[in-house]
Structure 1
Amino acid sequence: MKKLTNYAVSLFVIVIVLLLIIPLSPFLLDVFIVINISISLIILLVSMNIREPLEFSIFPSLLLITTLFRLGINVSSTRNILMNQGEAGQVIKSFGTFVLQGNAIVGFIIFIIIVLVQFIVITKGAERVSEVAARFTLDAMPGKQMAIDADLSSGLIDETAARTRREKIQREADFYGAMDGATKIVKGDSIMSIIITAINLIGGTAMGMVMSDMSFTEVLSVYSIATIGDGLVSQIPALLISTATGMIVTRAVSEGSLNDDVSKQFTAQPQAIMMTGGIMLVLLLVPGMPKFQMLLLGGGLIAAGYFLNRKTKEAAQQEAAAVAGAVVEEQKKTADEGEYFKDINNVYSMIGVDPIEMEFGYSLIPLVDESSGGKMINRIVIFRRQYAQEMGVVIPSISLRDSSSLNTNQYVIKIKGEEVAGGEILVDYYLALEPAEPTGEVDGIETIEPAYGIPSKWILPENKEMAEIYGYTVIDPLSVMITHLSETIKQHAYEVINRQEVMHLLENVRKTTPELVDEVFPGIISYGNFQKILVNLVKEGIPVKDMETILETVADVGATVKDITQITESIRIALKRTITRKFCQGGQMRVLTLDAELEKVIVTSLTKGEQGVYTALSPDTMQSLISQVGEGIKKFNDLSQDVVILTSQVIRIYLYRLLEQFYPNVYVLSFQEIANNVQIQSIGNIAL
Structure 2
Amino acid sequence: MKNRDIGKMAVPIGIVGVVLLLVIPLPAWMLDFLIVVNIVGSLVILLTTMYVKRPLDFSVFPSLLLVATLFRLGLNVASTRLVLRDAYAGDVIEAFGHFVVGGSLIIGLVIFLILVVIQFVVITNGAGRVAEVGARFTLDAMPGKQMAIDADLNSGLITEDAARQRRADVAAEADFYGAMDGGSKFVKGDAIAGIIITIVNILGGIAIGLVQRGMEISEAINTYSLLTIGDGLVTQIPALLLSVSTGLIVTRATAESDLGTSTSKQLSQSRTSLLIAGGAAVSLALLPGMPKLPFMVVGALLLLASQRIKATEAREAKDELLEQAVAVAGPAADTPERLIEEMRVSALEILLAPDLVDLVSSGSDDDLLARIRGLRRKIALDLGIVVPPVRTRDSVELPASTYVLRISGVEAARGEVPPGRVLALGDDLGSLPGTEVHEPVFGLAGKWVPSEMRFAAEMTGATVVDRVSVLITHLSSVIGANADRLLSREDVRVLTDGVKQVNPSVVDELVPGLLSLGEVQRILQRLLAEHVPIRDLGRIYEALSLRAKVSSDPEGLVEAARLTLAPALTAQHSRDGLLRVMTLDPVLEQALLEGLRPGDQGSQILLDPARLDAMIRSYVTGRTAAENQGHVVVLVCAPALRPALHSLIVLHHGEAAVLSYSEVTGSGLKIEAVGVVRDAEAIAA
Q: TM-score by structure 1 length?
A: 0.82
Structure 1 pair 652–505 and aligned structure 2 pair: CA distance change class (3 A): same
Letter in 2 for 1:474: V
The answer to whether residue 188 in structure 2 is matched with residue 197 in structure 1 is no
Aligned counterpart, 2:683: none
The answer to whether residue 380 in structure 2 is matched with residue 388 in structure 1 is yes
Match of 1:534 among 497, 500, 524: 524
Letter in 2 for 1:354: S
Aligned to 1:471, the other structure's residue is in SS state: coil
The answer to whether residue 47 in structure 2 is matched with residue 55 in structure 1 is no
**In structure 2, distance between residues paired with 1:538 and 1:184:** 61
Does structure 2 retain, via aligned residues, the 8 Å contact 1:635–1:683?
A: no
Moved more, 176-185 or 411-420: 411-420
Q: Which runs of 5+ in 1 are unaligned?
A: none
Q: For 1:463-493, what per-residue CA distance to the aligned partner results, in whole angstroms no more than 9, with x for missing partners?
A: 4444444333334444444433333322222
The answer to whether residue 410 in structure 2 is matched with residue 418 in structure 1 is yes
Aligned counterpart, 1:292: 290
Structure 1 pair 153–589 and aligned structure 2 pair: CA distance change class (3 A): farther
Aligned counterpart, 2:219: 218
Match of 2:674 among 655, 675, 682: 682
**C-alpha displacement at 1:201, in angstroms?**
0.7
Aligned counterpart, 1:16: 18
Q: For 1:557-605, what per-residue CA distance to the aligned partner results, in whole angstroms no more than 9, with x for missing partners?
A: 3333332123212322332101011222222345666666766776676
**C-alpha displacement at 1:373, in angstroms?**
5.9
**In structure 2, distance between residues paired with 1:436 and 1:413:** 28
Match of 2:44 among 36, 42, 45: 42
**C-alpha displacement at 1:385, in angstroms?**
3.7
Aligned counterpart, 1:208: 209
**In structure 1, distance between residues paired with 2:569 and 2:104:** 89
Does structure 2 retain, via aligned residues, the 8 Å contact 1:254–1:261?
A: no
Q: For 1:604-635, what per-residue CA distance to the aligned partner results, in whole angstroms no more than 9, with x for missing partners?
A: 76666665544567777777777777777766
Aligned to 1:414, the other structure's residue is in SS state: strand
**In structure 2, distance between residues paired with 1:532 and 1:416:** 18
Match of 2:646 among 639, 642, 656: 656
Moved more, 576-585 or 678-687: 678-687
Does structure 2 retain, via aligned residues, the 8 Å contact 1:60–1:178?
A: yes
Q: For 1:303-322, what per-residue CA distance to the aligned partner results, in whole angstroms no more than 9, with x for missing partners?
A: 959975x8888888777777
Aligned counterpart, 2:169: 168
**C-alpha displacement at 1:533, in angstroms?**
0.9
**In structure 1, distance between residues paired with 2:160 and 2:631:** 20
**C-alpha displacement at 1:203, in angstroms?**
0.9
Aligned counterpart, 2:426: 435
Does structure 1 retain, via aligned residues, the 8 Å contact 2:93–2:231?
A: yes
Equivalent residue pairs, number = 676
Letter in 1 for 2:33: V
Letter in 2 for 1:7: M
Aligned counterpart, 1:576: 566
**In structure 1, distance between residues paired with 2:99 and 2:621:** 84
Match of 1:556 among 546, 551, 554: 546
Structure 1 pair 202–347 and aligned structure 2 pair: CA distance change class (3 A): closer
**C-alpha displacement at 1:640, in angstroms?**
7.8
**In structure 2, distance between residues paired with 1:174 and 1:487:** 37
Does structure 1 retain, via aligned residues, the 8 Å contact 2:580–2:632?
A: no
The answer to whether residue 514 in structure 2 is matched with residue 524 in structure 1 is yes
Q: For 1:508-559, what per-residue CA distance to the aligned partner results, in whole angstroms no more than 9, with x for missing partners?
A: 3333443333333334333222211110111211112222332333233333
Alignment of 1:224-239 (within 5 A): 224-239=225-240
**In structure 2, distance between residues paired with 1:152 and 1:306:** 49
Match of 2:30 among 28, 31, 37: 28
Aligned to 1:292, the other structure's residue is in SS state: coil
Structure 1 pair 328–277 and aligned structure 2 pair: CA distance change class (3 A): closer
**C-alpha displacement at 1:208, in angstroms?**
1.0
Percent identity between the two aligned chains:
39
**In structure 2, distance between residues paired with 1:191 and 1:503:** 78
**In structure 2, distance between residues paired with 1:636 and 1:45:** 62
Does structure 2 retain, via aligned residues, the 8 Å contact 1:156–1:482?
A: no
Structure 1 pair 331–199 and aligned structure 2 pair: CA distance change class (3 A): closer
Structure 1 pair 54–641 and aligned structure 2 pair: CA distance change class (3 A): farther
The answer to whether residue 546 in structure 2 is matched with residue 544 in structure 1 is no
Aligned to 1:528, the other structure's residue is in SS state: helix
Alignment of 1:600-639 (within 5 A): 611=601, 613-614=603-604
**In structure 2, distance between residues paired with 1:8 and 1:355:** 64
Q: Which runs of 5+ in 2 are unaligned?
A: 681-685
Indicate the RMSD between aligned Cα atoms, in angstroms. Answer: 4.4
Alignment of 1:219-298 (within 5 A): 219-252=220-253, 256-268=257-269, 292=290
**C-alpha displacement at 1:350, in angstroms?**
5.2
**In structure 2, distance between residues paired with 1:542 and 1:247:** 55
Does structure 1 retain, via aligned residues, the 8 Å contact 2:155–2:472?
A: no
Letter in 2 for 1:16: V
Does structure 2 retain, via aligned residues, the 8 Å contact 1:358–1:411?
A: yes
**In structure 2, distance between residues paired with 1:60 and 1:619:** 74
Q: For 1:428-484, what per-residue CA distance to the aligned partner results, in whole angstroms no more than 9, with x for missing partners?
A: 65x34413457x955567655455443444556654444444333334444444433
Structure 1 pair 269–511 and aligned structure 2 pair: CA distance change class (3 A): closer
Aligned to 1:54, the other structure's residue is in SS state: helix
**In structure 1, distance between residues paired with 2:671 and 2:127:** 56
Aligned to 2:464, the other structure's residue is in SS state: strand
Aligned to 1:420, the other structure's residue is in SS state: strand
Structure 1 pair 274–216 and aligned structure 2 pair: CA distance change class (3 A): same
Q: For 1:309-368, what per-residue CA distance to the aligned partner results, in whole angstroms no more than 9, with x for missing partners?
A: x8888888777777766776666546x444x43xxx886565443333445567766765
Aligned to 1:545, the other structure's residue is in SS state: coil
Alignment of 1:284-363 (within 5 A): 292=290, 304=302, 308=306, 332-333=329-330, 336-338=332-334, 340-341=335-336, 351-360=343-352
**In structure 2, distance between residues paired with 1:297 and 1:662:** 83
Structure 1 pair 589–249 and aligned structure 2 pair: CA distance change class (3 A): farther
Q: For 1:627-666, what per-residue CA distance to the aligned partner results, in whole angstroms no more than 9, with x for missing partners?
A: 7777777668778887755555454333433454565454
Structure 1 pair 507–277 and aligned structure 2 pair: CA distance change class (3 A): closer
Structure 1 pair 307–44 and aligned structure 2 pair: CA distance change class (3 A): closer
**In structure 1, distance between residues paired with 2:311 and 2:588:** 76
Moved more, 70-79 or 18-27: 18-27
**In structure 1, distance between residues paired with 2:641 and 2:177:** 59
**C-alpha displacement at 1:82, in angstroms?**
0.8
Moved more, 550-559 or 93-102: 93-102
Aligned to 1:7, the other structure's residue is in SS state: helix
Letter in 2 for 1:96: G
Structure 1 pair 233–450 and aligned structure 2 pair: CA distance change class (3 A): farther
